[in-house]
Structure 1
Amino acid sequence: MDLNLSGRVAVVTGASKGIGLAVTRTLLAEGARVVATSRKPSQELDELAGPDLVHFPADLMDPEAPAALIAHAVEVFGGLDILVNNAGGPPPGVTLPRGSFMDATDEQWRMMFELNLFSVVRAIRAAIPAMLARGGGSIVNVSSGNARQPSPINVDYGAAKAGVNNLTKVLAGEYGPQGLRVNTVSPGPVRTPLWTEEGGVADLIAAQAGIDRESVLSSVVPEMMKLATGRLADPQEVADAVVLLASPRSGSTTGADLAVDSGFLKEV
């Protein structure tokens, strides 16, 4: 299926690995031009180098960084059609999962919201004028199943992502008449470096359970989280949903939240 993305300009945050890397790779394959941002590049992102890819190094917790990112995309490629707010998760120095609500300090709450909500707000604020100048566009915010399924071990993260979902609904209503669509994709557990790398979530659970990392990923987490598919999602599966929502082929979809979560969410 042709997603009609050839020549369109996209910004992807958190693009150096995991879901963001998969989104960047997929957009390029569909003919889009991409400004990919992360604190630093990665070997996998460098392997995608070409005339249609620009890396913009930035720490999106810096209040000035999101606007600078959008301005750079407009300067390099002449405009903006797609914004994928993927950067998120625990900020530097913060480890998830927690033991309980009481384990998160005020400063950790602030940092979590800076990365997972406020950076999204700032990027969207900067992107809207550029998108409206081209007649509209698509914003896809990568949220989380924890936005709708509260968890005491991820309480600050879930609260920030719930804010992203609320923001998305508001923006979809306000800007839909001007041709700007805004949606969320909510992953469950995904085989990204957050889970799989040394010292990641799987290692933390493995240390508590006295088992190995692969057992955590292949059986313990799917059973613990009651994943209907029996496995963690692949980053590409999330990226496919993101890029479809970014595409004009989803022209009547706005204000939606698409779960790509292996059946994690059970409520109607």
Structure 2
Amino acid sequence: MDLKLDNKVAIVTGASKGIGLAVTRTLLAEGARVVATSRRTSPELDALADDRLVHVPADLMDPEAPARVIAEAVRLHGGVDVLVNNAGGPPPGVSLPRSSFVDASDADWRAMFEFNLFSAVRAIRAVLPVMLERGGGSIVNVSSGNARQPSPINVDYGAAKAGMNNLTKVLSEEFGPRGIRVNTVSPGPVRTAWWTEEGRVADTIAAQAGTDRDTVMDSLVPEMMRLSTGRLADPQEVADAVVLLASPRSASTTGAEFAVDSGFLKGL
């Protein structure tokens, strides 16, 4: 299927690895011009080197950074058609999962909201006038199943993502009549660095359960989270949903939430 993304200008945050890297790769394969942003590049992102790909380094914990990224995309390409707010997860210096709600201080909550919600708010605020001048666009916010399935070990993260879901609905109502679609993709557990890197979630759970990280990801977590597919999702599976929503092929889809979560969410 032609997703009609040839020469569309897309910004992807958190693009150096995981879901953001897969989204960047897929947009390039569909003919888009991509402005990829992250604190640092990565060998995997560098391997996608192409005259349609530009990496703009930015720390989205800096309140001024999202607007600078948008401005650079406009300088390079004259406008923006797609914004993928993918950056998220534990902010720098914060580790998840926690053992309890009481383990998160005010500073932890502020950092979590800065990275997982306010960075997207600021990027959207900066891109809206650019998209309106262009006649429309598509914004895809990457949320989490924890936005609707609260977790006591990720309570601040889930609250920030619940805010993102609410934001998506509000924006879709206000700006849909003006040609800007806003949708959410909510992953469940995905085989990204958050799980797989040394010292991250799989190792934390493995230490608590007296097992190893492969057992955690291959069997313990799918059983514990009651994943219908019996496995963690692959980043590409999330990226496919994101890029479809970014595409003009989804022209009548706005204000929607797509769960790509291996059957994690059980409620209606």
TM-score, normalization by structure 2: 1.00
Q: Is 1:55 matched up with 2:45?
A: no
Q: Is 1:196 matched up with 2:196?
A: yes
Distance 2:87 2:160 in 1: 13
The percent of aligned pairs where both chains have the same amino acid is 79
Code of the residue aligned with 2:196 in structure 1: it is T
Query: 1:102 — aligned with what?
Result: 102
CA RMSD, 1 decimal: 0.4
Residues 162-199 of structure 1 deviation map (CA, whole Å, 9 limit, x = unaligned)? 00000000000000000000000000000001101111
Residues 194-223 of structure 1 deviation map (CA, whole Å, 9 limit, x = unaligned)? 101111110110111111110000000000
Query: 1:25 — aligned with what?
Result: 25
Code of the residue aligned with 1:136 in structure 2: it is G
Code of the residue aligned with 2:190 in structure 1: it is V
Q: Secondary structure at the match of 2:134?
A: coil
By how many angstroms is 1:8 displaced? 0.2
Distance 1:252 1:83 in 2: 17
Query: 2:166 — aligned with what?
Result: 166
Q: Is 1:238 matched up with 2:265?
A: no
Query: What is the aligned residue count?
Result: 268
Distance 2:233 2:77 in 1: 33
Distance 2:21 2:109 in 1: 27
Query: 1:12 — aligned with what?
Result: 12
Q: Is 1:70 matched up with 2:66?
A: no
Distance 1:94 1:59 in 2: 15
By how many angstroms is 1:81 displaced? 0.1
TM-score, normalization by structure 1: 1.00
Gaps of 5+ in 2: none
Distance 1:199 1:84 in 2: 28
Matches within 5 A, 1:82-231: 82-231=82-231
